[in-house]
Structure 1
């Protein structure tokens, strides 16, 4: 069923009642430990899955709803839990290039009766509608003192690098895939922050 068909299936009385809100559901396909989160509190049973409520422990950058092909980037601000810090440290093997999907879920805000059926406050209405599909990329983290840590997850849309040739980046991994055994880019990360080499004659 498409998102349009799912919306049409929701009773018109409920949609016009003014008692509908929305929540964001996120599926992150981490290697070995895929996670399903939503921006509320407690566990939520939707579409045959349990979504863990993170409340204000996760935030998502604005998502464009334009009807066009896009390589839009989305960034998550995540709580610096021990689990997230472990994922950040193992980002290359467990996070990078793995799928991420963001859904919109309509929910009832308080008790309402539609066509003789009581709808409980907080009950999901209809099925989740996909807002964004992409791949997870970098997972940088930082610390500002002993009590403040931040974790960000950068995601790229499905059309990211669509026009670039395979292995088209200047990275050590791409260089080795083009020329096995070549070590010319091994030290490139050392210079990414503006490192300068002093040459003496």
Structure 2
């Protein structure tokens, strides 16, 4: 069922109750250890999965909700300890080019429990709706003072490589890497700045 069908399936009295909340859920497909989390507290059951609440340990940059094809970048800032930072930097190969999806989940607030240190959300309504899909790329980090460290995971939209050829760049080196001994692109560099060939009759 798609997002439109999910929304239409919500009873009208629930939508008009004024007791509807929303939460952001994130799936990061790390190599060997995929993670599902959301920016709240406690575990949330939604879409057939358990999402771990990370509270304010991770922040997400704004995501536009346009319908056009976009190569939008989204960043995730993670507060880390020195030990976590070292582990993350050693795990770059498990992150780069792996997929990330951000979802929006609606839920009923009739049974919300609020305490001084956490908010537990109520019953999810419908399925998580995809807001953003991309791949994780660079992981720059920063340190402020002696005990504040942040690592950033930069994610690029699924269309950020749309201008690249399907099999890489059209260069002699790339062609020979794909097909050893192939000479089809040996003269490609000659044509890059314009090339005129004169034929004798």
Q: TM-score range by the shorter chain?
A: 0.7 to 0.9
Encode CA deviations 1:50-90: one digit per residue, 9 max, x unaligned: 11001111111111111111111101111215446412332
Which residue is 2:195 aligned to?
Answer: none
For the residue of structure 1 that corresponds to 2:97, the secondary structure is coil
| C-alpha distance 8-52 of structure 1, shift in aligned 2 (>3 A) | same
For the residue of structure 1 that corresponds to 2:80, the secondary structure is coil
Encode CA deviations 1:90-112: one digit per residue, 9 max, x unaligned: 21x10000000000000122349
Q: How many residues align?
A: 168
Q: Is the 8 A contact 1:110 1:121 kept in 2?
A: no
Alpha-carbon distance in 2 for matches of 1:84, 1:36: 20
Residues 1:54 and 2:54 are matched in the alignment: yes
Map residues 48-197 of structure 1 onto 2, 5 A cutoff. Answer: 48-81=48-81, 82-83=83-84, 85-91=86-92, 93-111=93-111, 122-165=122-165, 166-168=167-169
Root-mean-square deviation (CA), in Å? 2.6
Which segment drifts farther, 143-152 or 23-32? 143-152
In structure 1, runs of 5+ residues without a counterpart are 113-119, 169-173, 181-201
Alpha-carbon distance in 1 for matches of 2:4, 2:29: 26
Alpha-carbon distance in 2 for matches of 1:154, 1:9: 35
Alpha-carbon distance in 2 for matches of 1:99, 1:11: 34
Larger Rg belongs to: 2
| C-alpha distance 42-121 of structure 1, shift in aligned 2 (>3 A) | closer
In structure 2, runs of 5+ residues without a counterpart are 113-119, 181-201
1:39 Cα deviation after fit? 1.1
